[in-house]
Amino acid sequence: MTPAPAPAEPPATTADPSPDLSTRTAATAPTAGSAVAVEAPGPPDHAEQHADERTGGDAGPRSPEHAELPHDRFLDRERSWLAFNQRVLELAEDESTPLLERARFLSIFASNLDEFFMVRVAGLKRRIATGVATRAASGRRPRDVLETIWTSSRALMERQAECFERTVSPALAAEGIHLLRWPDLTEQEQTRLFSFFRKRIFPVLTPLAVDPAHPFPYISGLSLNLAVVVRNPATGHKHFARVKVPPLLARFLEASAQRYVPVEDVIAAHLEELFPGMEVLDHHIFRVTRNEDLEVEEDDAENLLQALEKELLRRRFGPPVRLEVERSIDREVLDLLIRELKITEEEVFALAGPLDLTGLDDIASLDRPELKFPKFIAGTHRDLAEVESATAPDIFGAVRERDVLLHHPYDSFSTSVQLFVEQAAADPDVLAIKQTLYRTSGDSPIVDALIDAAESGKQVLVLVEIKARFDEHANIKWARKLEQAGCHVVYGLVGLKTHSKLCLVVRQEGDHLRRYAHIGTGNYHPKTARMYEDIGLLTADPDVGADLSDLFNRLSGYSRRDNYRRLLVAPRSLRDGLISRIRREVVNHREGRPAAVRIKVNSIVDERVIDALYRASQAGVPVDIWVRGICALRPGVPGLSENIRVRSILGRFLEHSRVYAFGSGGDTEVWLGSPDLMHRNLDRRIEVLVKVADPAHRHTLNRLLATGTSDSTASWHLGPDGSWTRHAVDEDGAPLRDMQETLIEARRKRRGSGN
């Protein structure tokens, strides 16, 4: 499959023979696989919460198409997220995954879980504590959800530790990459690390005593710490002290060539240096996760930038939500930590060491290409450069000829989107650039290009979303840098995050102005563009240009326009626009016209959209959903969703694009853009979908969706009970098609043929 093929050039290797939206009439039964139970349907114990209040349904007597839907029709979103992270863990456990990539997936799993506790668990605990927590749409009580999270996440963390200790670490050792503990080092290696400790570690360590004169110290979130027990030989009294592992040190220190040891082992081996004259009796490693979600009352903040900076300082002191310890910890020390941190036993996770496997990402980055996915370097999209050369393509000339559909990372970001902004900044005929920035890299060429444009006298408007979670510090930094360069920097609308991915360029061409635009599904982030799968559209279509001009005026001023020509925009028109199109498919099906719905998103939670999909399924419309993460919809339930299939694909690239396709009576309608089907996207963010006009591009995206949801493509299938089953081989044991590798191979063949 290629991102923008000519109609006469279908890539037969990447999709089923009949990729049109109308080909599937009902969900097929799943093939055999290894099912992992996540959730069984629960009783309708939340009947007191009227369904209409949650879903926006109609009150009063119901026609068949508006009959009451089952109360237990929604899966729990927190369980669904944990199931997503379990799929990440399964890639680490899979022996067919390249070895260093298995280590990387262990790191990703750990990082994902950290964020889950910092945000989702912390938010749930806060709502319970303040008495504002209500039953989830799944009907589960908040306390039950929390207890399930503790139980399920504990089991997953134990699986992660076992995978590292019993399979990945020994396999790395067999390849000459040794992850050792201090006693396993040679005497020469220990001597070398002692010298490193004295020069590089000891000067920055600060042991903190705990006694009547020294209160229990603040433990920063996600830091590694040593709980040290020492004894005064003069008095015989025992004392407790805490030593924080400096966060800027490498997680694993190299003792000799490709032989590594956790940094806390090196510190622990030299504790006598920190407590001279005292007897070091014991030490234990622990790690605390804190609530790090932000709360900024924008209505009360005269300056959002300053308010957010203050809130970032407060974030460091959020209450703890998880305590990780090594299993060998002394009970007396553990009781002290529980008491002083004010957490419960349920929030303690005792694991086999080492803790904090996010550091495995450094190991996965070692220069051992034979232990990684084969290297892939994206090339320039063929519509931007018919023949690869050292000359940069003329972006404006190419886009004047035709819309360009980009598919990253298979198409190079640097020679498409990045070059679009850079050429706009350097072009003397460009009068203005308007851009949204949600996340970008620390050394962003996009930001540099916008600064160059402003300094050369162009009008530059940049909407910086400084509330992008965990990127707030970086975005504040770039916002100030852009302001200092003369860019007009705005922070969006009060109460709404601007999550849309938009760039508009206004260019003088002869005696008239032409507008060029980019609308995408991914952030303007050159580094993640090599790892995230995203789709974008470059266009000079006048309707799109006019729509974006209107939208940017709304974001920077007081415009209240809600009707657009080729856009659906949240929070005003996006949900209703999607639901109306789903309902239109029901009409098409009843009248005998081609009807189908295919959706590719990161998450689907919104109850109103899910209910519309249920009713489409009940009417006989086939629905395919390709989701990476959370899915609150139950597929395959007789009488409710037997015509709905849900698939998930995880691999070397993070599936990140969002595409919505409708059969539309044979004239397929396809939309792409930034929104997932979650409340925050549809109600509390500026999100944008653009209608794809080019028939070849619609064909390309339909083939992509058909391939991703095909039973011949390796994926996970969601069952009606919430269980995900991995399907990686066919009935004969042969590997199913790997979606991402197929796309990579298609690019290589095209480049090799000179096409």
Tell me the DSSP string of 364-410. HTSS-GGGSSPP---B--TTT-SS--SSPP-HHHHHHHS-EEEEETT
Domain termination site, one of 508, 541, 562 = 562
Which residues sit opposite 226 in a β-bridge? Answer: 243, 285
DSSP state of 17: S
Q: What is the pLDDT of residue 100?
A: 98
30 assigned to some structural domain: no
284 is in an annotated binding site: no
**Domain annotation covers residue 688:** yes
Does one domain contain both 492 and 419? Answer: yes
Measure the CA–CA gap between 244 and 17, rounded to whole angstroms: 59
**Does 241 fall in a domain?**
yes
204 and 238 together in one domain: yes
- Give me the average pLDDT of each 10-residue run along the chain (755 residues): 39 43 47 38 35 37 66 95 97 97 98 93 87 85 93 97 97 98 97 96 92 80 94 92 93 96 97 94 95 53 51 61 95 94 94 94 96 93 71 88 96 95 96 87 81 92 70 64 79 77 96 96 90 97 96 80 89 95 96 96 97 98 97 97 98 97 88 96 94 96 96 97 96 95 89 51
State both tokens at 547. 């729509």
What's residue 306's pLDDT?
57
Same domain, 543 and 574: no
Q: Does 287 share its domain with 243? A: yes
Q: Is 469 within any annotated ligand binding site?
A: yes
Provide the domain limits for residue 286. Answer: 77-371
Residue 287: enclosing H or E segment and its boundaries?
Answer: strand 279-290
Q: Is 628 annotated as a binding residue?
A: yes
Greatest CA span in the chain, whole angstroms? 93
User: Which of 541, 562, 583 represents a domain boundary (last residue)?
Assistant: 562
Query: What is the per-residue pLDDT for 437?
Result: 87
Query: Do 96 and 227 lie in a common domain?
Result: yes
> 727: which strand partners?
715
- Indicate left, alpha or beta for 146 from its phi (over 0: left) and psi (-120 to 50: alpha): alpha
- CA 247, CA 244: separation in Å to the nearest integer? 8
Distance CA 440, CA 8 (A): 38
Report cis status (omega within 30 of 0) of the bond before 3: no
Assess whether 555 and 701 both reside in one domain.
no
User: Would you tell me how many other CB atoms lie within 10 Å of the CB of residue 409?
Assistant: 24
Q: Does one domain contain both 558 and 578?
A: no
Q: Is 656 annotated as a binding residue?
A: yes
Residue 378 lies in a domain: no
CA distance 102 to 100: 5
Q: Which amino acid is at 304?
A: L
Q: What is the CATH number of the domain that holds 213?
A: 3.30.1840.10
Q: 564 labelled as ligand-binding?
A: no
Is 424:505 a contact under the CB 8 Å cutoff? Answer: yes
612 in a domain, yes or no? yes
Contact of 193 with 253, CB cutoff 8 Å: yes
For 308, the enclosing helix (H) or strand (E) is helix 304-315
Rg (CA), the chain: 27
pLDDT given at position 736:
97
Same domain, 202 and 121: yes
Domain termination residue (choose one: 528, 562, 596) = 562
Give a yes or no: residue 8 inside a domain: no
Q: What is the SS3 string spanning 686-712?
A: EEEEEECCCHHHHHHHHHHHHHHCCCC
Is 439 annotated for ligand binding? yes
Residue 63 lies in a domain: no
**Residue closest to 91 by CA, chosen among 742, 733, 724:** 724
Angstrom distance (rounded) from CA 206 to CA 219:
13
Task: Clarify whether residues 610 and 558 are in a common domain.
Answer: no
| pLDDT value of residue 246 | 93
Q: How many domains does the chain have?
A: 3
> Which residues carry out catalysis?
499
* 454 falls within a domain: yes
pLDDT of residue 59: 38
Residue 737 DSSP code: B
Are 280 and 319 members of one domain? yes
Are residues 619 and 514 located together in one domain of the fold? no
Residue 741: which CATH number?
A: 3.30.870.10
Whether residues 124 and 260 share a domain: the answer is yes
